[in-house]
Structure 1
Amino acid sequence: MPVIVLVGCGLAAACLCLTGVAAGAYFYLRGRQATSAEPTIEYVLDASPRMESPSSSGEPRIVVARGVLGEIVRTADPRLTAGLRVFGTGALPQGCEDTDLVVPLAASNQGEIEGSLGEVEAAPESDSAVAQAMVGAIRDMASTDGPHSIVVVTGGADLCNPEAGELIRQEAQRAGIELRLFVIGFEVPLDEVEAVKAFVELIPGATYTDAPQAAALRTALVEIQTEVNRMAVEAFEPVPGGRTGANACDHPYLPLRSGASWSYDSSEGGMTWNVTSAGGSAESASATMAFSMPEVTFTVNWICSSAGITSYDFGSISSSVFGEVVTLDIVNSSGSWLPPAESLVPGYSWSNDYTMVVSSPFEGASVELTTTTSESWSVGGMETVSVPAGTFDALRIDGTSTIEMSGFMGISVPPSTTSQTFWFAEGVGIVRYTSSSEGYSGHGDLTGYSVP
């Protein structure tokens, strides 16, 4: 179980959008599995008077630490049991015992922690009882099954107990838990850095990272939270490899099974997605999906492997009035469109790139347009989403797509960037999506689905 002490201081599926006269498809998702384990994380914030000193950005260190920690808490896996402890706020009259569990340990309480962080203020008078706060965190976690971790971000050394390291080691041993302790020094004065390192070195399994400014603090916490989230995924993983489908395209969070269908109410009108065929093995498979909108249909051919839904290719776009109006051909691509579910934990990020040639008949000839797309995606946290099809526990994926077009009558079109957010539910797929770019805003909500 992880404890983060601040001292001192997704695609998993596919999302589809048309660009110009063509269409692109992107799906994002991530899986959540049932478990009886209890990975636990406790965030501990240093709010002693020293945190009122200005940071390198000019803001008080307490303000910077609260903001960065709030960002990280939002990316925590909601299956984690989490809590928030502070010290040095003046809550207790005895400065060297001044530590308080502000948000008790509970599952899926990241929102409460983030809200409480905004109310933490540094005390005008108190001591910096770093070790006592960590002892309190260990005792908080002693009744949980784990795995257990502590992350400490400190603005300086412990000013109360010269034997801080030994005190923490003994408490962990007495509690009978195996701790992973991460200590981050946020703009620690040079004359205190060695003191912090010294007590960390006495604690088995503890590591120290120096964060001389907010960017370094953020980087260190992102890496730690990502590792903790992976521990949660391992604890909740019911099946080795995380894949339960009959073939590689039957992804836990985008089940491309023959006969599966999804209907959406979108800003473009009603839309239906149907998997017309799917087959293969766990190592290599393919699936074909038909997309229907008012008066327009098009197809996507997916390629899947043990690495996830690795690629897709478009067929054509057809109109009920004009027949086939556009053919789409992916000429090169890199990356995976949908990494394996076990990789899609909060904080995970990746990029995808592909080049597509769009061909359309025009006065007896074929007009071609080449589009180059670069995508960047990151996995957010789990959220409860209510749509016409029901209420789902869904993973949020945020990303951007930058598209460049050239070739049409020798004209190059300036790049355009679209921001997108998708929510994916286990065993269902995309339940909601939003997208926006200059002069455009779109959305879609799931109205019905069938996954055989």
Structure 2
Amino acid sequence: MNTKWLYPFVLLALIGAGCSSPITTPEVSAPTAAPAAGTPAAPTALAGCSHPYYPLRAGSSISYQMPTKTGMQIMKVSVTENTGNQAKLNYVFPDTNVELKQALKCTSRGVYPESYLDLASQISGVSVNSETKNVSGPLLPADVKVGSEWDTSFDVVIHIDSAQAAAIGITEMNQTTVIHRKAVEFEDVTVPAGTFHALKVESHMTSTITGIPGMSVPRVSDTTEYWVEGVGLVKSESASGGGSSTMEATAVVK
């Protein structure tokens, strides 16, 4: 089971895509189904840099675990600052002493990544420098509800600093990723952090990499995400090519 390739895409549910160009206006389709009776309806307006399903309160944090062949990969995501229309996040991998930073920008249309978060070095151990050339679409639209559908796409140039890669003529590669998400229903989900009533979001992602022999064929991944109002993402499950990976919240600090 090849889980290593899937980890960046499980985490992509949490971090979105990086942005080195101006944020573009997302295209969010009208709901195709009404919320089920008795289920909560998410507010349509954002308060500061916040979202009903991604509160981004300064001082809040969520810890996650991801099983690997050698044990559990642990990650803690903390909101270190929230200044109205921007939130700053800190990602800590305690087992490897790796610490990464990310900024999100909030607009009336949703939550957008403001900078690219380089998880490739953490996941693969290869020294790389990733540069996002283009990004379109939100991580979460402001008015997300059951039936909402939205797209996120981005183009990234990955510069590889590896003698082994250079020896076979690989110094950089281009990656184009397109993600289509749909909020399908409300569902109770149990993770180590507790049991939550979550908005279930299904996504289909296609990622094409050029610059590496044999990797020009698009790779696809299907992911199910569980977003909880007032909390954030508590679970993400991805599957691709016979492999699978799961990320679950182990602790939530509001």
What TM-score, normalized by structure 1, do the two folds share?
0.44
**Alpha-carbon distance between aligned partners in 2 of 1:394 and 1:290, rounded to the nearest angstrom:** 23
Which residue in the other structure is 1:450 paired with?
Answer: 253
Following TM superposition, by how much is the alpha carbon of 1:292 offset from its aligned partner in structure 2, in angstroms? Answer: 1.9
Matches within 5 A, 1:405-424: 405-408=209-212, 412-424=215-227
1:379 matches 2:210: no
**Which structure carries more relative contact order (alpha carbon 8 Å, separation 6+)?**
2
- What CA distance in whole angstroms lies between the structure 2 residues aligned with 1:398 and 1:267? 21
User: Quick check: which has more Rg, 1 or 2?
Assistant: 1
Cα distance change on mapping 1:310 and 1:290 into 2, 3 Å:
same
Q: TM-score, normalised by structure 2?
A: 0.75
Counterparts of 1:262-341 in structure 2, within 5 Å, are: 262-268=62-68, 269-275=72-78, 277-281=80-84, 284-292=85-93, 294-295=95-96, 297-317=99-119, 318=121, 325-340=127-142
The aligned counterpart of 2:240 is 437
1:372, distance to aligned residue in structure 2 (A): 0.2
2:161 aligned partner, one-letter code:
P
- Report the CA distance shift for 1:441/1:383 in structure 2 as closer, same or farther (over 3 A): same
Say if 2:160 is the partner of 1:360.
yes
Whole-angstrom distance in 2 between the partners of 1:372 and 1:399: 16
1:161 alignment partner in structure 2:
none
Partner of 1:242: 45
Contact 1:257/1:275 (<8 A) preserved = no
Q: Amino acid of the residue matched to residue 35 of structure 2?
A: D
Measured after TM superposition, the shift of residue 307 of structure 1 is 1.7
How far 1:417 moved relative to its partner?
0.5
State the alpha-carbon separation in 2 of the partners of residues 294 and 275 from structure 1. Answer: 17
Q: Distance in 2 between matches of 1:254 and 1:354?
A: 21
Secondary structure at 1:414 match in 2: coil
The aligned length equals 225
Q: For residue 267 of structure 1, report the CA deviation from its aligned partner.
A: 2.5
Report the alpha carbon displacement of residue 450 of structure 1 after superposing the two structures with TM. 1.0
The 1-side partners of 2:107 and 2:81 are apart by: 13
The AA in structure 2 aligned to 1:26 is A
Give yes or no for contact 2:146–2:185 (8 Å, CA) kept in 1: yes
CA distance in 1 between counterparts of 2:4 and 2:76 reads 15
Task: Pick closer, same or farther for the CA change 1:326–1:301 going to 2, 3 Å.
Answer: farther
Q: Percent identity?
A: 24
Offset at 1:299? 3.6
Specify which of 202, 219, 237 is matched with residue 398 of structure 1.
Answer: 202
2:205, 2:116 → 1: CA distance?
Answer: 18
1:389 pairs with 2:189: no
- Per-residue CA deviations over 1:125-146 (Å, capped at 9, x if unaligned) read xxxxxxxxxxxxxxxxxxxxxx
Contact 1:297 1:319 in 2 (8 A): no
Asked whether the 8 Å contact 2:223–2:236 carries over to 1, the reply is yes
Distance 1:286 1:368 in 2: 31
Mapped partners of 1:273, 1:400: distance in 2: 26
